[in-house]
Amino acid sequence: MLHKSLFLKTLFLLSFLSFSNVIAQRPSTQPVRNTFTGNYSSEGDINQKGILTFELTNTGKKIEGVATYKTFDGQISTGVLSVNGYTALGKAFIRFRDQRGNIVADGVLSFNSNQMMIFKQTTRSSRVPKTSVLKKSFGDNSPQPPTAPKKFSGKYSTTGDANGSNFTIEMTENLGKISGTANYNAGYGQNNSGVLSVLGNVEGTRAYVKFLDQRGNMVAEGSLFFNSSNEISFTQNSNSVLLPMTAKLNKRQY
C-alpha cells in the first residue's frame, strides 16, 4: 500500500512538471512593442545640410524599410535606399543598401528624452549624414502625442513701414520646430532677398531661426519673440544685408 501511494505521488509530480513545462514553452500573448515603426523626417533640423527620411517597420527585433537623403544644394540625392537591421538594448542597428544591393552605410537609431529619433552613422559614407534628429510623422488615424501651442504659426508682415520696405514671414510651429518661408524687400529699388526658407527651434518664449536661400545656403540667422498676441519682434544675429537687423511684424488675418 505504501509503495502504491508513493507511486501515485511520483506520477502526479511528473505530470505537474510536464504540464508546467508546456505552459512555459507556449508563445507569449503579450504584444511586442514595435518601437521604431513609422515615418520619420529630419525636416526642421537647422543643423543639417539636407533632409533624411525613414519609413520603417519594426517587428520583434527585426527592422525593415526604406530611406532617402537629399542635400539642400542638390549635390547628394540617394534615391530610395533599403534599410535592414535589428534592435537590441533600445537601439536599432541598421544597414543602408542602394537599389543594386551595394552597401551604402551603417548606423544606429535611438530615441532621446523628447522622443525624437536620433540617427548616428557608424561608417564614413558621404551619402548619408553623420548624425541627424528626426521627428515622427503621424497619420490621421494615429494617436498623436500632446503638442505645444502653435504660438508662432501664422503669416506676419511689416507692410506699411514709412521707408517702403516690406518683411514677411510665414511659418508653422509644431512640436517645438519652426518651418516656413520669408521675404525681405528693402524698398525703393534696394535689396530683395527673394524667397528664403525658414527653419528653427522654439526655446521658451523665443524662436531661434535660420534663413536659407534656394540653394540651401544659410544667409542669416536671428530670433523671434512676441510683443503681443498679434505682433512679433525679429532681431538678426548675423550681419546680412538680405534681412533687416530688427523689425516688428504684425500677424495677418487670413
Report pLDDT digits (tens) over 50-97.
889 999 999 889 999 999 999 888 888 898 999 999 999 999 999 999
Which of 150, 207, 210 lies closest to 181 in space, CA to CA?
Answer: 210
Give tens-digit pLDDT for 116-160.
Answer: 899 999 999 999 999 999 988 765 444 444 444 457 889 999 865
Does 215 fall in a domain?
yes
Q: Is 47 found in the same domain as 130?
A: yes
Q: Is 180 found in the same domain as 213?
A: yes
Does 247 fall in a domain?
yes
What does pLDDT average to over the chain? Answer: 80
What pLDDT does residue 7 have? 54
* Number of independent structural domains in the chain: 2
Q: Is 162 found in the same domain as 125?
A: no
pLDDT bin (cut points 50, 70, 90) of residue 189 is low
What pLDDT does residue 195 have? 92
Which of 184, 157, 193, 152 lies closest to 171 in space, CA to CA?
Answer: 152
What pLDDT does residue 214 have? 87
Does 81 fall in a domain?
yes
What pLDDT does residue 97 have? 93
Rounded to the nearest 10 degrees, how much is the dihedral formed by the CA atoms of 212, 217, 221, 226? Answer: 10
Which domain, by its residues, includes 164? Answer: 154-251
User: For the domain that residue 181 is a member of, what is the CATH number?
Assistant: 2.40.128
Q: Give SS3 for 207.
A: strand
Does 29 fall in a domain?
no
More confident residue, 115 or 83: 83
Q: Is 130 found in the same domain as 84?
A: yes
Average pLDDT over residues 227-245: 88
Q: Is 86 found in the same domain as 125?
A: yes
**DSSP states of 20-63 as a string?**
HHHHHHSPP-SPP--TT-EEEE-TT-TT-SEEEEEEEEEETTEE
Does 173 fall in a domain?
yes
More confident residue, 35 or 17: 35
What pLDDT does residue 62 have? 93
More confident residue, 205 or 30: 205
Question: pTM for the full model?
Answer: 0.47
Amino acid at 253: Q
More confident residue, 105 or 3: 105
Does 4 fall in a domain?
no
Does 15 fall in a domain?
no
